[in-house]
Amino acid sequence: MAHKFDPKNKEKLNSKERRENLPPEIILRKAGLKSDHHLIDIGCGVGYFSIPAAKIVNSNGKVYALDTSEEMTEFLTAELKTLGIENVEVLNSREYGFPLEEDTGDMLLMSMVLHEVEDKKRFLQEARRTLKPSGRILIIEWDKKETEQGPPLKHRLDTQETKNYLHQAGFNNPEIIELQELSNTFYMVTAKG
C-alpha cells in the first residue's frame, strides 16, 4: 500500500523550512517554465507550486491545479480568490483519470506524488496523455534515504526507479536536474513526452 499525505497536515506544505529547501519559483524556472506556458500541477495541494507558476506563466499562460483531495482544492480555490490570481483552474481529479484534454500542457509537474501511487506506469501514462508532443514532465521526489521529514524509506523511489517508470510509460530520455545547491533531501527528474 502506497504512503499517502494526510490533507489535515496541509500547513506543513507551506512551511518556512520547505520554502528554503525547495524554493518553488527557482525550481520552476530551472525546469524551463516560461511565460505563456500551460502547466499541469498534479497533486497541487495548497498551491505551493501552482501559485508561483501562475506568476511565471502570467496572463498569457495557464495553470491547471489538480488534486484528488477536495479539502486541498477548496483551500487552494479560496487562496487564489484572496490573492486575486485568475489564471489557475483548480480541478478535482481521480488518481488515474485527469479531467483534461489530450495535449493540454507544455509542462506537467508532480511534486512528492509519484511515491504515493500504486500503479505508477498507469499514472504516468495518463500524465503523458495530457502533455503536448513537445511537453516535458517534471518529477520531484524525496531522496531514498532517512530524513526527519517525508514518507517512510520503504515508500520512497530512487532516481533510477523513477527513470524506469518514465521509460515504461513512454517518456524519452529522463534526466536528473541537479538540486545540490538547493537541497540534499529531494531530486528532480525531467523527461520529454
Asked if residue 117 is part of any domain, the answer here is yes
Residue 183 has pLDDT above 90, yes or no: no
- CATH number, domain at 30? 3.40.50.150
- Where is 122: in which H helix or E strand? helix 120-130
85 φ, ψ (degrees, to nearest 5): -90, 125
The predicted-structure confidence for 92-112, as pLDDT tens digits, reads as follows 999 999 999 999 999 999 999
Asked if residue 3 is part of any domain, the answer here is no
185 or 122, greater pLDDT: 122
pTM score: 0.90
Question: Rounded distance, CA 92 to CA 78, Å?
Answer: 14
Percent of the chain with pLDDT over 70: 88
Asked if residue 158 is part of any domain, the answer here is yes
Asked if residue 2 is part of any domain, the answer here is no
Give me the number of domains the chain comprises: 1
Where do runs of H (alpha helix) occur along 22-69?
A: 24-30, 50-57
180 or 110, greater pLDDT: 110
Range of the domain at 178: 10-192
pLDDT band at residue 149 under the 50/70/90 scheme = confident
Residue (of 166, 190, 162, 167) closest to 177 by Cα position: 190
Phi and psi based region of residue 85 (left: phi greater than 0; alpha: psi -120 to 50; beta: remaining): beta
pLDDT (mean) for 20-34 = 89
In the block, cell 501552482 appears at 50
Asked if residue 109 is part of any domain, the answer here is yes
Per-residue pLDDT, 148: 81
pLDDT (mean) for 28-50 = 95
Contacts of 103 (CB under 8 A, 6+ apart): 130, 131, 132, 133, 135
